Amino acid sequence: MSAVLPHAPLSVLSPSPAPVALRLDGVTKRHGAGGDAVVALDTMSFAVKKGEFVCVVGASGCGKSTMLNLVAGLDTPSAGKVTVAGERPALMFQESALFPWLSVEENVAFPLQMQGLSRKARAARVAELLHLVHLDKFAKRRPHELSGGMKQRVALARALAQQAELLLMDEPFAALDAMMRDHLHSELETLWQKTGLTVVFVTHNVREAVRLGDRVLLLSSRPGRLVAEYQVDLDRPRRIESPEVARLARTITDRLLEAARAAA
């Protein structure tokens, strides 16, 4: 059902016929300089195939956001190389990062505006996306009028609007209630299946990772290293409450605890 590969023979090394959407080769990232430098990522290598859905789990502070920032091109690695196929990836930040001076619909339209789409074309696409995240009624509101979970849904709609081939998501559903989260899981899954999008999805919730991912990468903290990866060979669509998901999640959680003990 699932292959457990501790101290991985990483997928980079295995010859794979599918084209690669993202590749990290020995990527190290230090924050700060000199004695106070924090090694957020330590010689990390892995590859993500085109159309793959990869989830990343790991303790808080293990460098997950740092990794996404590097992939998005917002930071440069201290060593190693990040290769992204195609153009600029979309990134959904851990904080919603909405623009407070724009309404909900203007926020979602922003990437389309940057791509030079006409006002009319933008409006149709924005309405569609707001419907997807169940916020049609809030199109004219400003971000400060929304709850935390609603803001995250707007941020999701905005990230999807970019229509990038690679979608990076940093704990996107952390602030949502179970109902809304389940809804967005299946919407995201459907969208991914329909479009052949590649997704890198960071989460603290191991069950969520197993629910969504083709593969789950597990990072250790201080320094952030890739310690294990799990292939999830369960049929889709999966249910987050299903015993199969629970079983694999338990295995991964145990490994996560082990990594945390080793770090302490």
Partner 1 sequence: MPQRELAGDPLARAHLHAVPGGDDGGATGREGHVLIDMPERTEAEDPLRAGLRAAVGDPSHDSPGPGDRPGRGRALWSSAWPKLTAVAMALVVWELVVLSGWRPEYVLPGPGAVLGRLWTDLLAGDIGVAAAITMKRAVIGYAIALVAGVSLGLVLARVKVLRTAAGSLLTGLQTMPSVAWFPLAILLFQLSEAAILAVVVLGAAPSIAIGLLTSTDQVPPLLVRAGKVMGARGFALYRHIIIPAALPGFVAGLKQGWAFAWRSLMAGELLVIIGHAPSIGVRLQFSRELSDAEGLLAWMLVVMLLGVLVDGLVFGALERKIREGRGLTAEHA
Ligand X SMILES: Nc1ncnc2c1ncn2[C@@H]1O[C@H](COP(=O)(O)OP(=O)(O)OP(=O)(O)O)[C@@H](O)[C@H]1O
Q: Which residues bind Mg ion (CB under 5 A)?
A: 65, 94
**CA 156: distance to chain centroid?**
11
With 0-12 / 13-18 / 19 or more C-beta atoms within 10 angstroms meaning exposed / middle / buried, residue 241 is exposed
Strand order in the sheet with 79-84: 38-49, 20-31, 79-84
According to CB under 6 A, which one of 6, 19, 32, 73 is a site residue for ligand X? 32
Q: Which stretch binds ligand X (CB under 6 A): 60-68, 138-146, 208-216, 246-254?
A: 60-68
Give CA separation, 262 vs 63, 92, 111, 213, 255, in Å.
17, 31, 42, 26, 11
Interatomic CA distance for residues 46 and 200, integer angstroms: 12
Smallest separation (angstroms) from partner 1 to the CB of 130: 14
Residue type, 9: P
Smallest separation (angstroms) from ligand X to the CB of 249: 17
According to CB under 6 A, which one of 14, 60, 76, 118 is a site residue for ligand X? 60
63 binds ligand X (CB under 6 A): yes
Interatomic CA distance for residues 245 and 230, integer angstroms: 12
Using CB under 8 A, which residues numbered 22 to 61 contact partner 1?
none
Using CB under 6 A, which residues numbered 84 to 113 contact ligand X?
94
147 binds partner 1 (CB under 8 A): yes
The full DSSP string for 228-256 is: EEEE--PPSSP-TT-HHHHHHHHHHHHHH
According to CB under 8 A, which one of 150, 156, 248, 259 is a site residue for partner 1? 150
CB closest to Mg ion, residue no: 65
Binding site for partner 1 (CB under 8 A): 69, 72, 74, 88-91, 93, 95, 97, 99-103, 110-111, 113-115, 134, 137-138, 140-147, 149-150, 158, 162, 176-183, 205-208, 240-241, 249
Binding site for ligand X (CB under 6 A): 31-32, 38, 40, 58, 60-66, 94
